[in-house]
Chains A and B, each alone.
Chain A
Amino acid sequence: MPRYELSLILKAMQRPETAATLRRTIETLIARGAVVRDLENLGDRLLPYKIDKHNERHSRGSYFLVDFYAAPSILTSFLDHLQRDVDVVRSTVLKKDDRVSSSNCCGPQQ
């Protein structure tokens, strides 16, 4: 199963609501047969630009990173689910490349 990375930006909410949203998201992932490997909290920050989502203008958000293994077929339905979630401001799934390019870039490394 290929490895994916989900960068999640949630609405600025109180701690129990953020926890509930995260729980909901990860349970959806597991229900579709994904294996969640890691969940990182990148902190609450001011968004780089104001984002309009679900009839609301957001200026602050909580950043999260979810590392998971999943079948590629579930991704479209999962992204659709995230789009419908009111608490999620922006979500992006990227494929994670494990191999690090070892070939020297412009010359021998010092």
Chain B
Amino acid sequence: MSSLRCFQRLKSVFCVQVNSGVRRISAAPSSVQQKESLVTMENPYKEAQKGCVLCSITVDYKNIQLLSQFISPHTGRIYGRHITGLCGRKQKEVSKAIKKAQAMGFMSVTHKHPQFMKDPNICGIKLLD
């Protein structure tokens, strides 16, 4: 019994309870904290604006090879904007040029010229060939 009490007394001596909950208040420097002025600059990670495929190319009704790349090889229908990926202005120019060429007897309406069938596919369409 007494040994237990001794042990308890020893325990109280040795175990120095440190109240970890107490926050130490750090002494703020007397001088005013000077914040660094924000350096204003243009976003350095900005990516260059991407243009459409025909950005720097003039569209002409006589250039039927170029125009034939935007029509279906089976039916000769003009592809929409979601397929060609052209911007508004160029899509309209291409569409108008195709209709002009078809009316003037330069380009066929119902099919694509067989000479241009092997041209690279710039429209995002997968044909079931």
Interface on A for B, CB 8 Å cutoff?
7, 9, 42, 47-49, 51, 61, 63, 65, 89-90, 92, 94, 100, 104-110
- How far, in angstroms, from A9 to B103 measured CA to CA in the complex? 12
| Contact A90 B51, CB 8 Å, known A105-B87, A105-B89 | no
Shortest CB distance A13–B (Å): 17
Do residues A106 and B106 form an inter-chain contact, with CB atoms below 8 A?
Answer: no
B113 in the interface (beta carbon within 8 A) = yes
Which residues in B have some Cβ–Cβ distance to A below 8 Å? 48-52, 54-56, 58, 62, 87, 89-90, 100, 102-110, 113
Q: Is the CB of A9 within 8 A of B87?
A: no
Check if B51 sits within 8 Å of A105, measured CB to CB.
yes
Contact B50 A107 (CB under 8 A): yes
- Chain B residues lying within 8 Å of A107, measured Cβ to Cβ, are 48-51, 55
Q: Which 4 A-B pairs have the closest CB atoms?
A: A107-B49, A48-B108, A106-B87, A107-B51
* Structural contact, A89 and B56, CB atoms closer than 8 A: no
Q: Can you add 14 more A-B contacts, CB < 8 Å, to A42-B62, A48-B105?
A: A48-B106, A48-B109, A63-B106, A90-B105, A100-B58, A105-B52, A105-B54, A105-B55, A105-B56, A105-B87, A105-B89, A107-B55, A108-B51, A110-B51
Decide: A109 and B50 in contact? CB cutoff 8 A: no
Q: List 19 A-B contacts (CB under 8 A).
A: A7-B62, A7-B106, A9-B105, A47-B105, A48-B105, A48-B107, A48-B108, A49-B109, A65-B62, A90-B105, A94-B100, A105-B54, A105-B87, A106-B49, A106-B52, A107-B49, A107-B55, A109-B55, A110-B56
CA distance A61 to B105 in the complex (A): 10
Known contacts: A106-B52, A107-B49. The answer to whether A7 contacts B87 by CB under 8 A is no
